[in-house]
Amino acid sequence: MATIAGTCPLGTLLRNSVSENNRKNSVVHYEGLRLPQRTQIPSSLTTSPSHYISASSSPRCRTIKAMASSSVAAPKREKDPKKRVVITGMGLVSVFGSDIETFYNKLLEGESGISLIDRFDASSFSVRFGGQIRDFSSEGYIDGKNDRRLDDCWRYCIVAGKRALDDANLGQQVLDTMDKTRIGVLVGTGMGGLTAFSSGVESLIQKGYKKITPFFIPYSITNMGSALLAIDTGLMGPNYSISTACATANYCFYAAANHIRRGEADIMVVGGTEAAIMPTGVGGFIACRALSQRNEHPKKASRPWDKDRDGFVMGEGSGVLIMESLESATKRGATIIAEYLGGAITCDAHHMTDPRSDGLGVSSCITKSLEDAGVSPEEVNYVNAHATSTLAGDLAEVNAIKKVFKDTSELKMNATKSMIGHGLGAAGGLEAIATIKAITTGWVHPTINQDNLEPSVTIDTVPNVKKQHEVNVGISNSFGFGGHNSVVVFAPFRP
């Protein structure tokens, strides 16, 4: 039995500086709500009760005892076409527009989408830049009356969702011929309709409760994206939202895949959406001391793993996948883009914002995701990292990755956030699309602003220039406030 001693510093809400000891030893600030595990896991991969973690009663400082894993047979991937989950469509709204090819080409070019905020007067804010979406159009997807009422969070969701359905050849005429009770929607958000909520509170304070719009509550609550998309398309399968901060979209992928594997749905429209670049959102993260303050050089602000990083950059948008059973996709002759092999979610159970110093939450999440996928660590050669450009989080994630992948010589690891900022609840959706595009194109996008790399980061971060790389298996990491950890696993589809 191995004993791992985990120190538990109180920390500040979000540290702007990290001691040299923490730089060497801290292992992630990450995140995770626990959904039921899929039931169809080969018996050779299941863990016995002796593998569960026990902890001392201290709420802050605890000693973790974990049994070493017993030897298991080589992992086996799912073979049942009813339980294999494939990707048949993708849709997004991003700082680079709403076209998938344009989005990924901009990433490959190493172009930054970060700029000064002009959606509101940010001149008095200590942070005045972000990955703000401009020139967004919902024409053809949302009627004019509803478009004027909706919070941007839901506008992005509906457009990305419908574009994903179109990409999967599931336009409204096709959907009307199908059993819609077998098609679900699961699009989560970390913040919800933040503009709608802030406007409602402002009306209450300035004019009284009678002046609050009747849309205040419906357009604020986090489940409304999934609901509105279902109402528009008539999809009657599983429908709800998940909100686990910046891990949201990956949690949704994991849950949606399990709906398919359990036979509860044939198709799921799934991802994340967020629109928090507004006064309350920006001001709130400034108060957390989480954001970069590089106002003079905003395009240089998001710099994961660089010694000169000083916080993350806010982004926004929506990323949605069509996840479908192989059986369903084959029957309707769908084009299969890639395969979802598996995923996992765990919780640090440590602190609202600080990472565990021992990294157990993240490393165990990666390991569990590979077990669920039927993949050995040696098969993985690409990581789309969470990598937010924070002092503690970037190195913590790398340390956790090194725990799982003993030989990283063939591993490519990049940070999409270096160009589009941190999309919060939408981040995992946009990064899943980037991961899948890496698989289908054979090119991995660069991590920009890599000028002074941390010496402990010995994995290839694809610095500043794209690289040709045939992805065998890729993972996408997302972690969020509350200690929520999530990892999803994608690979090229092979019949």
Reported as a single tens digit per residue, the pLDDT across 372-395 is: 999 999 999 999 999 999 998 999
* CATH number for the domain that contains residue 336: 3.40.47.10
Number of structural domains, the chain? 1
8, part of any domain: no
68, part of any domain: no
Query: Do the beta carbons of residue 310 and residue 387 sit within 8 Å?
Result: no
Strand pairing of 183-188 and 412-414? unpaired
Which whole number is the average pLDDT over 19-23? 39
Higher pLDDT pick, 429 / 348: 429
Which whole number is the average pLDDT over 125-132? 98
* C-alpha radius of gyration, the chain, whole number: 21
Rounded mean pLDDT of the chain?
88
pLDDT in tens, 255-279: 999 999 999 999 999 999 999 999 9
Catalytic residue among 153, 157, 246, 347: 246
Residue labelled with tokens 């609840």: 425
Catalytic residue among 386, 445, 469, 484: 386
415, part of any domain: yes
pLDDT for 432: 98
72, part of any domain: no
Which whole number is the average pLDDT over 50-76? 43
112, part of any domain: yes
Active site residue 351: no
Active site residue 469: no
Which whole number is the average pLDDT over 409-414? 97
Catalytic residue among 29, 259, 422, 484: 422
Active site residue 297: no
Residue labelled with tokens 């994903």: 164
For residue 86 the two structure tokens come to: 């494939």
Residue 37 pLDDT > 70: no
Higher pLDDT pick, 484 / 9: 484
322, part of any domain: yes
3-state secondary structure of 290: coil
Query: Do the beta carbons of residue 244 and residue 484 sit within 8 Å?
Result: yes
Domain range holding 280?
Answer: 87-492
41, part of any domain: no
109, part of any domain: yes
For residue 233 the two structure tokens come to: 């398309």
- In single-letter form, the type of residue at position 368 comes to K
What's the rounded Cα separation, in Å, for the pair 403 and 364?
A: 9
pLDDT band of 73, cuts 50, 70, 90: low
Higher pLDDT pick, 446 / 148: 446
Nearest to 463 by CA among 449, 476, 474, 475: 449
Task: State the angle between helix axes of 100-109 and 427-441 in degrees (0 to 180), rounded to the nearest 10.
Answer: 80
The overall pTM is greater than 0.95: no
Query: Do the beta carbons of residue 235 and residue 180 sit within 8 Å?
Result: yes
